[in-house]
Amino acid sequence: MKKPFFTILLAALSTITFAQEKEASLKKEIVSIDIGFLGTWINYERHLSGQFTLKSELGLEGAFGQGFISDGNTYFAFTPTIRLEPRYYYNFNRRNKLEKKISYNAANYFALTTTYIPNLFTISNVSNIEFQRGVLLIPKWGMQRTIGQRMNFQFALGAGPFLSNLKTEIVFGLDLRFGYNF
């Protein structure tokens, strides 16, 4: 009689002891490759503290269109970019409490995207296209989700100034990317 009672008591205590909420934190480092609507990027995201990370990336971003630049023909062009993006993941802990997938920082975030366009070279189907050297400063709202074990999806949007020595104008930023986390 005593053995079954102590066995049941021990099992009940162990489930109470281990039923505590698990502590989750953002991943310390993420290295990934993304492919998006108009470009490809290599990323490194580093956890700073709390819900903050810093994402840095090198990319080859593109543009396409039809107009006076290409004598009315459709054109495409790609140029290298360098981006720094501090992020604040505002619903990471909530997603963890709801037992949603949080691997590889799968959560919603606010970011200040700073992109430098150095205009080192241009890859294009038209010979006279050149990107203007400058800096983009775009506050964004975004979401990042993990698909399967190592794939991710990112969506972000915002608007901000494009600053160059020739002009300043408001531009829109849209990230629509699929990636692979290493």
Could you identify the residue written with the tokens 């794939």? 151
What pLDDT is recorded for position 66?
A: 75
On whether the CB atoms of residues 119 and 133 are closer than 8 A, the answer is yes
Alpha-carbon dihedral 158, 53, 106, 101, rounded to 10 degrees: -150
Residue by residue, DSSP assigns 124-173 as ESSTT--PPPEEEEEEEEEEEEEETTTEEEEEEEEEEEEE-SS-EEEEEE
Say if 102 falls within a structural domain: yes
56: domain CATH number? 2.40.160
Handedness of CA 79, 80, 82, 85 (dihedral sign): positive
Give the chain's domain count: 1
pLDDT at 18: 43
Residue 83 has pLDDT above 50, yes or no: yes
Task: Compute the average pLDDT of residues 75-97.
Answer: 95
Range of the domain at 59: 23-181
The C-alpha atoms of residue 116 and residue 118 are separated, in whole angstroms, by: 6
Q: Is residue 10 part of a domain?
A: no
Average pLDDT score over the chain: 87
pTM metric for this prediction: 0.81
* Pair 77, 122: CB distance under 8 Å: yes
pLDDT in tens, 89-101: 999 999 999 999 9
Let me know if residue 7 belongs to a domain: no
